[in-house]
Chain A
Amino acid sequence: MKNFSIILKRFLLNKGSAFGGIFLLIIIIGAIFAPLIAPYNWNEVDTGPRLAPPSLDFLFGTDIHGRDVFSRIVYGARYSLSVGVISVLFGIVAGSIFGITIAYIGGRVDIIGSRIIDVMFGFPSFLLSLLVVAIIGVGLWNVVFAVGLASIPHFARIIRSAALQVKEQPYIEACVNMGFGKIRIMFNHILPNIFPIIIVIATMDLGGAIISIASLSFLGLGAQPPEPEWGAMLSSGREYMRYAPWTMIYPGLFLFLTVMSVNLLGDRLSIALDARQSVDKGKV
């Protein structure tokens, strides 16, 4: 508990992570209470003049269909944030199961498993996502799956080596001697020990996942109209860039600030983790 308060203190005292935390909080609250915050329905056409510049009525202007860009961005936060989190969750759960399993069983399983990870690393991850989309088809959830899948080798490699370290500890040996089942040891005893690492790498990966999904949507492979996903909004605003730059400036700005906030949190979390490790080591 004492450790925790130290970490929390370090975390909050830092300007960067404070900014990131507050901005993310705003975005999350905005996404949850979107119907209350957004002045218009995200999909309602002709709420005002088409391609109208930002004004008090239309904070971020309107698009070619006369839809309010601000309202679309607020609703879009639901998509952009949740798809990022879900894809990372998928990647990290699969990566953890894979990594912990091969590390714990060891021997030939570990060698083969590691080889599989190496081979997956042979594909640049974006290429892997593109390939997966080519196979399963276009769509927002397909892209979420593809990006999550492509992140598995990265997660699996880190978690495997973390699990290997934990496995060596006398505590786990004791569990084995007490006759606990393999699954129980892996997920009740090893997993909690590497959980902080999992949280940190997941956070650090989240920003990248959000950008990847938005990029694929921008390329027309992900979110479909009229979904207000930020990448897709940018893609459709592109054609009117010259006459209505606000249709591409604001969705991109929010995407950027969100990713930056996530990255700030990730940075701080990893520093905090280092700190915890040093605190732990000091105790031992």
Chain B
Amino acid sequence: MRILLKIALGITFIFSSLSFINTANALDIVFAEDRPDLRTLDPRITQSRHEEMLIVNMFDQLISADSEGNIYPGLATSWDVSSDGLEYTFSLRDDVIFHDGTKFNAAAVKATFDSIVDPETGSQGAVDILGPYKETIVIDDFTAKVVFERRYGSAITAFTETELSIVSPTALDKLGNEGFGMAPVGTGPFIFKNWEANKKVELVRNPDYNWAPEYMDGSGPSQVANLTYRLIKDTSTRVAALEAGEVDIAELVPPLDMRRFDSSGDLSTVTGTVSGLPYSAFLNTTTGVFQDVNVRKAFFHSLDRVKMTSDLFFGYAEAAFGPISSSTPSYWSGNEDYYPYNPEGAAALLDEAGWEMGSDGVREKNGEKLTVFFPCLLEPDTCVAIQGYANKVGFDVNVEVVMKARQDELIFANGYDMLVIRWVSLDPGVLIIPFHSRNIPEPGKFKFNWARYANAELDQLLEDAESAETQEVKDDLYMQIQKHIMDQAIFLAIHDQVQTVAYNPDLEGVRFANGNWQMRMYDVRKK
């Protein structure tokens, strides 16, 4: 009898513990993402960090990197670089299958990279990250050789970027570029399920997933069974939904709320300092008052970036000084010696340039006002703060809060004096995108050199840096590049970008992807 009872108890115990595992294994996580207007979930096409927030959980890359930027084997178990730095030979995992059931192999790598450089695809981000890509050679089923036109110093980092995720060629053929962006197929820990425009995107766990990078805590399929991204644009609503328990994790939580959660302990928080371009403003060098380098320098000197940042972010972000953030490799600390807050210096520079203070507090020269048109797409409050400071030394800054469509129009028409940008990137190589003269936008050609600064010397430096042979050479070239940009005062860094995330304190394993913006949800589990 006793034995029977024990067995019965044992069975009950096993079942109850099983059911415990079951619930622990079937987490439903709701993530509050702030942009409702997602356009594509195709890693090859996107350039939006918001789209990548989802993409990063549906795809894998050849090389994997943790949030610190340390690299690990990804879809490739190992890789060799030829001595001339042109050829990267990857040995691929042979046990990986795409969400559509097709096998991951060297042909998929080739198809992905070839399609990125195909102009038909219209890649916005990946095509730049792939750099001087020449071709991919399929050596055998699980060996692929990627060949570059010239030495590409950022190649290893590039292969860890979300944009260079490997996509299913079968799905691509079936769905076409547009269709694939609406129903992406990768090899990642989560599978695309459903997308309700402006409302939510639903992913489910990949039951076959068995190739998590080694820095992850877990292995096998994720404990998160259903991963829902609710697209909630309004900040206070996002926070309210988080506090009400309607969402588990929310991004871009306002600093004041972060401070409240940190002091109350009701919610866990984590802040990521994003690498890449800080929140910065391009000053247009081809039109208006900023054609004069002294006016640009005066504008720089008029801002107290340290105070402005602490006033707006309550300690959750730091002021930035250089073209790339201090957390980006090859950052040059000399940036910090440039353009300290100095309103008297700014006034002197403007006086020298012939701009004299008018009776209304706006400077004038030959009857022309010192007016700056500032379309502001990101962080209106920061734009207003900039305006307030610049106003004190006699700039009349007209801020217009714009949407992307309007900003695109202004970019094509060269109709602005300054524009703000921020960019997540893992490598200083990103600088070629906003500063090379080939990237000056033209009507119909959307590019990112919004300062419209063309300088052969800088172009050469950027190209050389891209193919630098050693880290020392690379660091030195990027130092010269940063110095050039700072000397010319064409790019005004304001503050480091931060990703402020708050989440349900019962959860753990919430981690940033490389770059500290996107969140990898694979490891999320109950404490």
Instruction: With a 10 A CB-CB cut-off, give which of B254, B389, B401 has the most chain A CB atoms.
Output: B401
Taking chain B's interface residues, is the majority helix, strand, or loop, or is none over half, making it mixed?
A: helix
Q: Does A16 contact B (CB under 8 A)?
A: no
Interfacial chain A residues near B406, Cβ < 8 Å: 137-138
Q: Which of A228-250 touch B at CB < 8 Å?
A: 236, 238-243
Query: Within 8 Å CB of A220, what residues of B?
Result: 401
Q: A30-44: contact bitstring with B at CB < 8 Å (1 yes, 0 no)?
A: 000000000000011
**Interface residues contributed by chain A, number (CB under 8 Å):** 21
Question: In this assembly, does A224 line the interface, its C-beta being within 8 Å of a C-beta of chain B?
Answer: yes
Assuming the contacts A225-B387, A240-B256, asked whether A65 and B381 have C-beta atoms less than 8 A apart, the reply is yes
**B138 CB–A CB distance under 8 Å:** no
A65 to chain B, nearest CB (A): 6
Task: Report B-chain residues with C-beta under 8 Å of the C-beta of A43.
Answer: 388, 391
Closest to A139 in B: B400
* A65 to B401 CA separation, bound complex (whole angstroms): 17
Q: Does A10 contact B (CB under 8 A)?
A: no
Shortest B506–chain A CB gap in Å is 24
Task: List B370-423 residues whose CB lies under 8 Å from chain A.
Answer: 376, 380-381, 383-385, 387-389, 391, 398-402, 406
How far does the alpha carbon of A241 sit from the alpha carbon of B239 in the complex, in Å?
12
A64 interface residue (CB < 8 Å to B): yes
Closest to A41 in B: B361
**At the interface, yes or no: A106 with Cβ under 8 Å from chain B?**
no
Q: How distant is A49 from chain B, measured CB to nearest CB, in Å?
A: 10
Residues in B neighbouring A240, C-beta threshold 8 A = 256
Given A65-B384, A225-B387, is A241 in contact with B399 using a C-beta cutoff of 8 Å?
A: no
A282 CB to closest chain B CB (Å) equals: 57
A154 within 8 A of B: no
Task: Tell whether A192 is near chain B: CB-to-CB under 8 Å.
Answer: no
A172 at the interface (CB under 8 A from B): no
- Is A45 part of the contact surface with B, judged by Cβ < 8 Å? yes
Q: Determine if A50 is an interface residue (Cβ-Cβ < 8 Å).
A: yes
A residues 199-251 near B (Cβ < 8 Å) are: 220, 224-226, 236, 238-243
Which B residues touch A65, using CB under 8 A? 311, 381, 384-385, 388
State whether A236 touches B400 (Cβ < 8 A). no
Residue of A nearest to B240 (CB): A242
**Complex Cα–Cα for A50 and B398 (A):** 23
State whether A64 touches B381 (Cβ < 8 A): yes
Interface size on B, residues (CB 8 A): 23
Other-chain residue from B311, B389, B400 in contact with A50 (beta carbon distance below 8 A):
B311
Q: Is the CB of A239 within 8 A of B254?
A: yes
With A and B bound together, what is the CA distance between A139 and B387 in angstroms?
A: 18
Near A by CB (< 8 A), chain B positions 341-389 give 376, 380-381, 383-385, 387-389
Q: Hey, which chain B residues are within 8 Å of A226, CB to CB?
A: 384, 387-388, 399
**Closest chain A residue, CB of each to CB of B389:** A45
Of A44, A139, A225, A238, the contact of B236 (CB 8 Å cutoff): A238
* A214 CA / B398 CA spacing, docked (Å): 20
Contact A225 B380 (CB under 8 A): yes
Q: Which residues of B lie under 8 Å from residue A236 when comparing CB positions? A: 380-381, 384
Given A220-B401, A241-B236, A225–B384 Cβ distance below 8 Å?
Answer: yes
B241 proximal to A (CB < 8 A):
no
B235 within 8 A of A: yes
Q: Cβ of A45 and Cβ of B388 under 8 Å apart?
A: yes
Note all chain A residues with C-beta closer than 8 A to B376. Answer: 225
Query: Cβ of B236 and Cβ of A224 under 8 Å apart?
Result: no
In the complex, whether B27 has a CB less than 8 A from a CB of chain A is no
Interface hub of A44, A225, A243 (most chain B Cβ within 10 A): A225
Of A64, A66, A138, A238, the contact of B402 (CB 8 Å cutoff) = A138
CA distance A45 to B392 in the complex (A): 10
- Complex contacts, A238 vs chain B, CB 8 Å: 236
CB distance from B42 to the nearest CB of A (A): 29
Q: What separation, in Å, do the CA atoms of A225 and B397 have in the docked complex?
A: 10
Most buried by A among B236, B376, B389: B236
Q: Mark B312-346, 1 if CB is under 8 A from A, else 0.
A: 10000000000000000000000000000000000
CB distance from A48 to the nearest CB of B (A): 12
Cross-chain contact A243 with B256 (CB below 8 angstroms) = yes
* Min distance, Cβ B196 to any Cβ of chain A, angstroms: 23
Q: When the two chains form their complex, are residues B385 and A138 in contact, meaning their CB atoms are under 8 A apart?
A: no
- In the complex, 6 of the A-B residue pairs with CB atoms within 8 angstroms, ordered by the A residue number, are A66-B311, A138-B406, A225-B380, A236-B381, A239-B235, A239-B236
Q: A44-B388, A50-B311, A137-B406 known; 18 other A-B pairs, CB under 8 Å?
A: A45-B385, A45-B388, A65-B311, A65-B381, A65-B384, A65-B388, A220-B401, A224-B400, A224-B401, A225-B376, A225-B380, A225-B383, A225-B384, A225-B399, A226-B388, A239-B235, A242-B257, A243-B256
